[in-house]
């Protein structure tokens, strides 16, 4: 083989092969970012659940408080989905003949949890705590959208780092109350005040509850969410 041929061989091994491998890796990474990162795929995620449980019916029409079923959100990091026992508080009587309720009763009698499919899920390297946000007066609707109008739960927000930080940079998250009622109701434990405040916050500037909660602001330090 000619020296030129050998040189070409070496060139192939030393330059072209690594380039092809690097190219393939970059391609894979880009593909991963575009197709699998939260920002691009999870918004709108709306899996079919094992039982046709409707938030529109239970929260919207029947006006059952979010905290009746997700009370853990106030106290712990996870909001948790209620155990079948909570459904049975009503469905041991209500609509027992419905095929969907029969599934609920079956789960209860067999002592087998209903296998709800998880909708919102952050990667393991991020820490999120519900109770911090609920106690600060952030409404469920701010992060989960109009759940009370959803027959099937769907992910409304990207839950990306940019999305968390957008809110953490805001100085005053309580100026645009959408549906703060349910949080404020719990936070204030004062019915007269609740009646006063639920119409909007603007005319209540200066009251102690608003003042205290307006000071709350999330952090942008890496270590508050990644540790
Ligand atoms: C009667 C009980 C009940 C009430 C009231 C209720 N929920 Fe739920 N929630 C459930 C159950 C059961 C699931 C799991 C099934 C599903 O996703 O539909 C769930 C799921 C969710 C999820 C998705 C969890 C995941 O997998 O990511 C969110 C978010 C949520 N609820 C928010 C709310 C909000 C906000 C309210 C108040 C407007 C509320 N819920 C009221 C029972 C309830
Ligand atoms: C500041 C934004 C924010 C607020 C406010 C918020 N959530 Fe969440 N929620 C999230 C995020 C982010 C996840 C995914 C958490 C994870 O994977 O660790 C989640 C997950 C959930 C889940 C499923 C997983 C779990 O933690 O059990 C339920 C149920 C839920 N939220 C219900 C609620 C309810 C009910 C409220 C109001 C009482 C509420 N959330 C308020 C952001 C929020
Ligand atoms: C506070 C009372 C209450 C609780 C708690 C409750 N429900 Fe209901 N549920 C009702 C009422 C009332 C209806 C509507 C009945 C009607 O259509 O007249 C209903 C309707 C339903 C239906 C529709 C049935 C059909 O065939 O029309 C399903 C499915 C259902 N509930 C599932 C659940 C599940 C699952 C849970 C627990 C996570 C739950 N419910 C908790 C009161 C409740
Ligand atoms: C709608 C506004 C809002 C969104 C969206 C939001 N947060 Fe927050 N977060 C807050 C506020 C306000 C506080 C401060 C609470 C306090 O000081 O008591 C906070 C506090 C925290 C804290 C406690 C540490 C600290 O002092 O900052 C963590 C951790 C946190 N948020 C993580 C997240 C993550 C992760 C996301 C996205 C998945 C997120 N938050 C989305 C408003 C928000
Ligand atoms: C308010 C909470 C919060 C803070 C503060 C924060 N992050 Fe993140 N970070 C997140 C969330 C949420 C994700 C996306 C997680 C997922 O995809 O499930 C993320 C993802 C990441 C990723 C993975 C790549 C990506 O974009 O998905 C890296 C790397 C990262 N963060 C680094 C940092 C660094 C460095 C800082 C400090 C400058 C920081 N983060 C501050 C919440 C936060």
**Radius of gyration of the chain measured on its C-alpha atoms:** 25
User: Ligand 1: distance of its center to the CA of 222 in Å?
Assistant: 30
Atom from ligand 2 closest to the CA of residue 74: 38
Is the Cα dihedral 101, 120, 75, 59 positive or negative? negative
Token pair in block for residue 83: 């155990």
- Any ligand 3 atom below 6 A from CB of 100: yes
Token pair in block for residue 54: 């409707």
Q: How many CB atoms lie within 10 A of CB 20?
A: 11
Q: Which of 35, 37, 161 to mutate to test the pocket of ligand 5 (most atoms within 8 A of CB)?
A: 161
* Three-point CA angle 93, 96, 99, nearest 5°: 155
Under a CB-based contact definition with an 8 Å cutoff, are residues 184 and 198 in contact? yes
The residue whose CA is least distant from atom 21 of ligand 3 is: 53
* Three-point CA angle 113, 117, 120, nearest 5°: 125
Q: What pLDDT was estimated at residue 196? A: 58
Q: What pLDDT was estimated at residue 138? A: 80
159-170: pLDDT as tens digits: 999 999 998 988
Rounded CA gap, 67 and 82, in Å?
10
The residue whose CA is least distant from atom 12 of ligand 3 is: 94
Q: Which of 43, 79, 136 to mutate to test the pocket of ligand 2 (most atoms within 8 A of CB)?
A: 79
Under a CB-based contact definition with an 8 Å cutoff, are residues 138 and 174 in contact? no
Token pair in block for residue 25: 């890796």
For the chain, what is the mean pLDDT? 78
Instruction: Give the model's confidence band at 179: pLDDT under 50 very low, under 70 low, under 90 confident, else very high.
Output: very low
Token pair in block for residue 180: 């703060």
Under a CB-based contact definition with an 8 Å cutoff, are residues 147 and 33 in contact? no
- Any ligand 1 atom below 6 A from CB of 63: no
Is the Cα dihedral 76, 78, 79, 81 positive or negative? negative
Q: What percent of the chain has pLDDT over 70?
A: 62
Rounded CA gap, 46 and 155, in Å?
7
User: Ligand 3: distance of its center to the CA of 145 in Å?
Assistant: 22
66-122: pLDDT as tens digits: 888 998 988 899 999 999 999 999 999 999 999 999 999 999 999 999 999 999 999
Residue 180 has pLDDT above 90, yes or no: no
- Any ligand 3 atom below 6 A from CB of 89: yes
Residue 176 has pLDDT above 50, yes or no: no
- Window from 16-30, 76-90, 112-126, 127-141 with minimum mean pLDDT: 16-30
The residue whose CA is least distant from atom 22 of ligand 2 is: 79
Rounded CA gap, 151 and 100, in Å?
14
Under a CB-based contact definition with an 8 Å cutoff, are residues 131 and 76 in contact? yes
User: Ligand 1: distance of its center to the CA of 81 in Å?
Assistant: 7
Rounded CA gap, 149 and 58, in Å?
10
Rounded CA gap, 46 and 51, in Å?
14
């Amino acid at each position: 083989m000619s020296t030129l041929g050998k040189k070409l061989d070496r060139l192939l091994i030393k330059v072209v092969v690594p380039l092809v491998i690097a190219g393939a890796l970059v391609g894979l990474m880009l593909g991963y970012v575009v197709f699998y990162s939260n920002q691009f795929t999870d918004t709108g995620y709306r899996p079919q659940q094992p039982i046709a449980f409707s938030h529109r019916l239970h929260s919207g029409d029947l006006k059952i408080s979010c905290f009746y079923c997700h009370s853990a959100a106030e106290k712990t990091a996870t909001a948790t989905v209620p155990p079948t026992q909570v459904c049975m508080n009503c469905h041991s009587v209500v609509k027992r003949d419905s095929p969907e309720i029969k599934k609920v009763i079956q789960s209860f009698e067999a002592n087998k949890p209903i296998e709800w499919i998880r909708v919102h899920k952050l990667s393991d390297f991020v820490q999120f705590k519900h109770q911090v946000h609920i106690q600060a007066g952030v409404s469920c609707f701010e992060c989960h959208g109009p759940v009370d109008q959803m027959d099937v739960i769907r992910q409304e927000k990207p839950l990306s780092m940019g999305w968390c930080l957008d809110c953490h940079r805001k100085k005053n998250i309580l100026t645009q109350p959408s549906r703060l009622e349910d949080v404020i109701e719990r936070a204030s434990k004062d019915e007269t005040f609740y009646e006063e405040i639920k119409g909007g916050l603007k005319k209540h500037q200066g009251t102690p509850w608003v003042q205290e909660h307006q000071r709350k602001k999330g952090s942008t330090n890496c270590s508050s969410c990644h540790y």
